Each structure stands twice: as C-alpha cells, then as structure tokens.
Structure 1
Amino acid sequence: MSWNTFLLFAPACFAINLAFGPNNLLSLTYGMRSGVRVAAVAALGRLVAFALMIFLAAIGLGAVLAASEQAFSVVKWAGAAYLVWLGVKILRASGKGEAVARDTFSRQPLATLVAQEFWTAIGNPKAILVFTAFFPQFIDLNAYGASFAVMGATFLLLEIVAIVLYALLGRRLGSFARTGRTLTWFNRVSGSTMVAFGVALAFARRPA
C-alpha cells in the first residue's frame, strides 16, 4: 500500500471508528460508570471480534458471509435480539432504584463487560461489510496480504483511539452526574438507545 493510498484510507477509516454505534455506546457507558481503564479493558472483547472479522475477510470467507442473505439474516437477528436484551437489562436496572442504577455496571465482573463488547460487535453483520466492501477499495492487488494486514492493524489501532475518546467522554459526563437520580436517567437513555440500535439492526437489509 502506497503512502498516498494510506493517507486516503486512514481518515476514512477513523470516521468509521468514531461512528456512534452500540459498541461505542458501551465505551461511553462503562467510562461513566467505572472509568477509562475498565472501559478500555472491556473493549478488548470488541477488538477480538473485529480482528476475527478482518481475518475472515482477508481469507475470503467474509465476502461469502456478506453475499449470503441467509447468513446475513441469522447474524442480524441474533445481534438485534442481543442488543434489545442488553438494553432491556439496563432499563430494568434503572427502574429498581437509584442505588441499583448506580451499580449497574460497577458490580459486574470485568469478564462480563468484555463478553458484552464481544457479542455486541460479533452480532452486527454490518461490521463484516466494512472489511469486505470498504477495505478492498484501498487494496494493492500486487501485495494483497500486506495491504490487508496494514489496513487491519490501522483499523484496530484507530478503534483503540475511538474507545479511549468515548471512555473519556463518559468519565467527563460522569463527573457531572454524581447524583443517583441523574445516573438513573442516564441508564434509561443508554438502555433505550441500545434497544433502538437493536430494532434498527432488525430492519437492516443486506446491500445488493
């Protein structure tokens, strides 16, 4: 991959990394609840999921999955159901009282947060489309493997930057939301948004 191509790829890629979606919502929420370190460690689950998708896309399986209406639908409905379940879980916690809402995430084991990040990422079929439709636009066919490796590594590094930025924003919001009532409302907004993401994913269609 030439430097000119890379300089076109990197900003476009970072725009994708920064897009507000279910995983970045989790980083924002974990950052508010438990701090930047916990949010960053939890996001390891997301990075593993994306690394797996990049590998599948590189060996060609990603294109097969992206082209299969049945596979797309299975992943889509599973991912939508998981997002709705996660959102409802947050909403139910916010309805149990301010103290419970305050501890919604802080009492959860870190492994649980990592798993939530992983399943949220892996259950979104649109993610595999990023690697099968977006990456090939910048690939050097004379150095296919190296190009994919550079783009994959760049995507993951920029994803880490996005994770930290959302976690820092969450921590900043948390500094203004010390009361239980405010935290309860944040849980309600977070849970409702997660449900909305799940519903939107359920209605998503595979690009022709």
Structure 2
Amino acid sequence: MDLATLSLFLPACFALNMAPGPNNLLSVSNATHYGFRRACTAGIGRILAFAGMIALAGAGLSVVLQTSQWLFQAIKIIGAAYLLYLAWQLWRANPDAGQQVTGAAAGFFALARQEFLVAAGNPKAILLFTAFLPQFVDPTRPVPTQFAVLGVLFLLLEWIAISAYAYMGLHMRRWFAEPRGKRIFNRCCAGLLSAAASALLMAKRA
C-alpha cells in the first residue's frame, strides 16, 4: 500500500471514526459516570465488534445482509431495542446516587458488553466497511493483506476516537457535578440514544 493511498485513507477514515454516534455517545456517558480510564477500556468491546465486522465484510458476509431483508431488519430491530433500553435506564437513573448505571453494574465486563452490543446491533456498520474499505484496495496486489492493514488502521483510529470522546466526557463530569446537572445530562443522552435508535429503525440497505 503506497503513501498516496494512505494519505487519502487516514483522514477519511478518521472522519468516520469521530462522527457522533451511539458508541461515541456511550463513551462520553461512561467517562462522565465512571471516569476516563474505565470508558477507554470499555471501548475494547466496540473494537472487538468492529474487528469481527471487518473480518465478516472481508469474507463477503455483507452480501448476505444486502440481499436478506429479514436478517437486516432483525439485526437493526434488536440494535434499536437495546439503544432504547439504555436510554430508558439513563432517563430513570437516580442523579443523587454516587454511581450511575446504564443498565448493569459498572464493572469492566458490563461496560465492554454494552459497547459490543451497541456496535454489533447496527447492520449498517458492516455495510460501511464493505463500501468504504475496498475503495482503497489495489486489485493488482494481494487483497486480503491490504484489507487486513486497512482494518487494523481503522481500529487504531477508532481507539483514538474512543479516547477523545471519553476525554470530553471526563470534563463534562465537572460541569454536571450537581444532581440537577446529572439529571439534565442523563436525559440529554437518553434523548440522543432514542434518536439514534429511531434513525437505526429507519435505516435502509445500501
């Protein structure tokens, strides 16, 4: 893979990584409630989900999603339902509690599982990998190797995005130290997650 291709891929890829979405919003919320380090480590769940999607896209499973209407609908309904569940938990969270919860205990595995399920519940993601990554693959060179390199770079940039959004959430925690501020923040996040669920339900196959 030459430098010219990388010079096009990296900024375009990072723009996708930094785009606001349910997972990045979750990083902000987790950092606000549990701290920067825990929000970043929870992102491992998202990385694992995206790594699996990249592997599936490379194996051609995206064709199944593009041709199977019922499978696409089933995945996006489950994903939207989980987002709505998280939104409900945030909406009813007690702002006076020392630890906020978004559906489960605040341990690493619980938060990582949230990140994984939110990422895995969006069938458009695997289609995005199929539509985006191949644009930077040279068919005259070994395709699997190029796809693997692009996938690793995407995941590295995604980790930077996780850290960036978690850092924002860390500073927002100082702004919402009072119970009233926590309630406003929780309900704003709940509204945005509900909007993301609605957008997911309206999503159509590319």
What amino acid maps onto 1:78 in structure 2? I
User: What is the number of equivalent residue pairs in this alignment?
Assistant: 204
1:86 equivalenced with 2:86 (yes/no):
yes
Task: Please name the residue that 1:54 is paired with.
Answer: 54
Query: Percent same amino acid at aligned positions?
Result: 44
* Equivalent residue, structure 1, for 2:6: 6
Contact 2:89 2:101 (8 Å CA) reproduced: no
| Residue 98 of structure 1, aligned match among 77, 95, 99 | 95
Distance 1:167 1:190 in 2: 14
Alignment of 1:15-30 (within 5 A): 15-30=15-30
Output the aligned Cα RMSD: 1.6
Could you tell me how far 1:168 is from its partner in structure 2?
A: 0.4
**After the TM superposition, which parts of structure 1 deviate over 6 Å for at least 4 consecutive aligned residues?**
none
Counterpart for residue 127 of structure 1? 125
Runs of at least 5 residues in structure 2 that lack an aligned partner in the other structure:
none
Q: Following the alignment from structure 1 to structure 2, what is the Cα–Cα distance between the partners of residues 98 and 73?
A: 35
Residue segments in structure 1 that go unaligned for 5+ positions in a row: none
- The corresponding residue for 1:74 is 74
Shift of 1:49: 0.2
TM-score normalised to structure 2 length: 0.94
TM-superposed CA distance for 1:107, in Å, is: 5.2
CA distance in 1, matches of 2:105, 2:33: 10
Residues 31-46 of structure 1 aligned to structure 2 (within 5 Å) = 31-46=31-46
Contact persistence 1:102–1:180 (CA under 8 A): no
TM-score (norm 1): 0.93
Aligned twin of 1:153:
152
Over 3 Å counting, the alpha-carbon distance change for 1:107 and 1:184 in structure 2 is farther
Post-superposition shift, 1:191?
Answer: 1.1
Contact map agreement 1:23 1:120 (CA 8 A) in 2: yes
Counterpart position of 1:176: 175
Question: In 1, are the aligned partners of 2:76 and 2:122 still within 8 Å (CA)?
Answer: yes
**2:190 is the counterpart of 1:191:** yes
**For the Cα contact (< 8 Å) 1:18–1:162, is it kept in 2?**
yes
> C-alpha distance in 2, partners of 1:128/1:16?
13
Structure 1: which amino acid aligns with 2:109? A
